[in-house]
Amino acid sequence: WDRGLLSGASQKAEVICNYHVGETVMSLEKTVLIPGGPEALVYTTLSGTIGMLVPFTSKEDIDFFQHLEMHLRQEYQTLSGRDHLTFRSYYFPVKSVIDGDLCEQFNTIDPIKRSSIAEELDRTATEVSKKLEDIRTRYAF
């Protein structure tokens, strides 16, 4: 055994992201869902939820979706009334993960709020919806 940092632990890991799924993850698989498409991590949970963690390919996409998520956290009210960031940071603070489920709620909110959020992002509501559709089809459909 290596005797060094971390009380001699021979396998050391670096935390690159944190995200509370909300359930117990039972399986995690690195896979490609579209032939020739990019790889993604697909997970399943104890209650049957299927989720996916996908990497962004451009800094522009990261900035866009971070800002969209930030605006939706303020505008979108959950059914339980619980703060979204508090839920996703239940055990550890969210780090380097954007909540696609929250971003998908953009199309379900009031059209006036949708327009104001899109305006804050310097886009039209149609362009934001199109961007959401593009990221969805790039990995899954």
Instruction: Walk along the chain (141 residues) and give the pLDDT tens digit of each residue.
Output: 455 555 666 677 788 999 999 999 999 999 998 888 889 999 999 999 999 999 998 999 999 999 999 999 998 877 777 888 888 888 899 999 999 999 999 999 999 999 999 999 999 999 999 999 998 888 776
Task: Please tell me the predicted confidence (pLDDT) of residue 140.
Answer: 74
User: For residue 58, how many other CB atoms are within 10 A of its CB?
Assistant: 8
Q: Is 64 exposed, middle or buried (0-12, 13-18, 19+ CB in 10 A)?
A: buried
Q: Please name the residues in contact with 66: beta carbons below 8 A apart, sequence gap of 6 or more.
A: 98
Task: Please tell me the predicted confidence (pLDDT) of residue 6.
Answer: 58
